[in-house]
Structure 1
Amino acid sequence: MTEQTHDATERARLLRLATRASVIVALVLIALKSGVWLMSGSVSLLAGLIDSLMDAGASIINLFAVGYALKPADKEHRFGHGKAEALAGLAQSAFITGSAVLVLLQGINRLLHPQPLETAWAGIAVMVFSIVATLGLLAIQQHVIKRTHSTAISADSLHYRSDLILNVSIIAALLLAHFGIQRADALFGLGIAVFIGYGAVRIGLEAIAILMDHELPDDVRAASLAIARAVPDVIDVHDLRTRQSGHHWFMQLHLELPATLTLADAHARGEQVRLAIIERYPQADVLVHKDPA
């Protein structure tokens, strides 16, 4: 097995690990939160339940999208299937936005018509468990993101990180409501809805940037130009174009080379540039065009 094949196999294993762990955690939390919400009627718990439902839906989408994105390039998809991850991120954004609207409406209703909460301590216990489970999942996701740079897993991790704040907020709301401040539950629910909506916008914008072939970050472009210009006989570099598709980066650039170079020498300089950029950014697919200066 070549090193490249081994890396691809390891990446696929890590991505499947992260997506399956996300689905399992979301389903367990849905079961626990559903039972306690039915007993208590808490708006903040409902916010947590809906968020977990959205997590599960998004994670299941990720499970299939990541599997599709891992398929190698074929005749119909010469650049691979990596954009399936960005599509999954966009779907997550829609799911999370829907959850924010539902919680917002329920929070307004409960703010206008406050009701006493029951079984607050059971809700607190469930939220503490949720925090522990989420921390464990985030540890797995961060390890996978560091190794794979997956857009879909990054999006998944983003809203699970927001879940930590959400869970602490729910605990605070349940405690305040338990000690007589009934509207605290609704107010915290409204705040959580706004927070969830903000996260949805961020995820959606990142996914759209990839789907619209947004250029790679400026520091990556600047470093790539510097690497190319450092190769002997390269007079200048222009028309650098970049984009991202899942884990893969695609770069195109034009080299200005002395017109006196032979075709073989010009090709060798172009290959030096290509390999130097790939050494710095292994996930890059680099296409070099040679221009006589």
Structure 2
Amino acid sequence: MMTLQKKATVVSSSVAALLTIMKLVIGIASGSVAVLASAIDSVLDMFVSLFNYFAISNSEKPADKEFNYGRGKIEALASVIEGTIITISGLFLLYQAIKKAINGEISQYMGTSITVMIISLIITISLVIYLNKVAKKTNSMVIKADALHYKTDVYSNVAVLTSLVLVHLTGYEIIDVLVGSGIALYIIYSSYELIHDGVLVLLDRAVEHDIVEKIEDIIKSKEKVNTHHLLKTREAGHQTFVEVHLVFDCIITLMDAHRVSDKIEQEIEDLDKNRDWIINIHMDPYDDFTINDSK
């Protein structure tokens, strides 16, 4: 059965393929650097979405003897690669804009180009709405990255459409060059967040501070837990890992300590039903943190 994440990548790949054909034909025929820039971006969108499908397919595989913690980090790796590809595409588009300005090229088929960009804008907005809904339900980093990517496409499509209309009305080709350059710079800027977030996940950054505080509040609310230490959190794809040492009275039964730990685990999982929580609780009969810390 195809998961919601996989379905989203199939949809985005199909849409990117459609937009690529539309924009590439018109971009080459018209000579508009803005339309061509948008077309090249759609080509990259298609390949990135296909790569995302591969990443999600692998990240959803269960843990095994070779990958004891699963393959969730491949989503973060995909995010870094996607951000890098976006950066490269932005640099290429900037080159195309400068080249047109130097050679003084003239745009053609403006009416058809405007129509194509209007259709493209409507399709892209619809896709962004869909991907945002999937990202909210699944908490998938790859889908979030895909949604952000296509959101930048919405802005670039609006800019391209505006430039086409202005060039058509005024005949000033410099508008096309400036808009194409602006889109290129914005694409490069937008890729930073994808690379930044992906690298932090690969480095095992802790989850959001407010979630860590809520986990600590849950632990502190249990009277039978004297204290806790070595609380660690990290994320990998749709999975959130939590490790903590709980300190109980040495006279408590193992059964009672286990019941309290189970209750804590359940309350942590209830913090966010969209996350796949992997919780590991170590039960101590006394506070050995200072002893271990001094070694």
- Tell me what 2:277 maps to: 284
- Tell me what 1:233 maps to: 224
Extract unaligned runs of 5+ from structure 2.
288-295
Deviation (angstroms), 1:64: 1.1
Deviation (angstroms), 1:147: 1.3
- Tell me what 1:177 maps to: 167
Deviation (angstroms), 1:86: 1.3
- Tell me what 2:255 maps to: 264
Between the aligned partners of 2:129 and 2:222, the Cα distance in structure 1 is 40
Q: Tell me, yes or no, if the aligned pair for 2:28 and 2:36 is still in contact at 8 Å.
A: no
Residue by residue over 1:30-82, the C-alpha shift from the partner in whole angstroms, topping out at 9 and shown as x without a partner, is 10111101111111111101110110110010111111111111111121121
Structure 1 counterpart of 2:283, which letter? K
Matching residue within 128, 135, 140 for 2:118: 128
- Could you state the TM-score of these two structures normalised by the residue count of structure 2? 0.92
After superposing on structure 2, the runs of 4+ consecutive aligned residues of structure 1 that deviate more than 3 Å are none
SS at match of 1:171: helix
Between the aligned partners of 1:221 and 1:244, the Cα distance in structure 2 is 12
Matching residue within 30, 33, 38 for 1:48: 38
Deviation (angstroms), 1:111: 2.3
Deviation (angstroms), 1:168: 0.6
Residue by residue over 1:180-203, the C-alpha shift from the partner in whole angstroms, topping out at 9 and shown as x without a partner, is 221010111111011000111111
Deviation (angstroms), 1:252: 0.4
Between the aligned partners of 1:34 and 1:269, the Cα distance in structure 2 is 61
- Tell me what 2:193 maps to: 202
- Could you state the TM-score of these two structures normalised by the residue count of structure 1? 0.93
> Cα RMSD over matched residues?
1.4
Between the aligned partners of 1:265 and 1:165, the Cα distance in structure 2 is 57
Matching residue within 100, 107, 112 for 2:97: 107
- Tell me what 2:80 maps to: 90
Structure 2 counterpart of 1:82, which letter? G
Between the aligned partners of 1:22 and 1:98, the Cα distance in structure 2 is 21
Deviation (angstroms), 1:271: 2.2
Between the aligned partners of 1:281 and 1:63, the Cα distance in structure 2 is 25
Matching residue within 140, 162, 170 for 1:150: 140
Between the aligned partners of 2:222 and 2:117, the Cα distance in structure 1 is 57
Q: How many residues align?
A: 283
SS at match of 1:280: coil
Residue by residue over 1:97-138, the C-alpha shift from the partner in whole angstroms, topping out at 9 and shown as x without a partner, is 110010111111222333221111111111111111112212
Extract unaligned runs of 5+ from structure 1.
1-8
Identity among equivalent pairs (%): 33
Q: Tell me, yes or no, if the aligned pair for 2:244 and 2:282 is still in contact at 8 Å.
A: yes
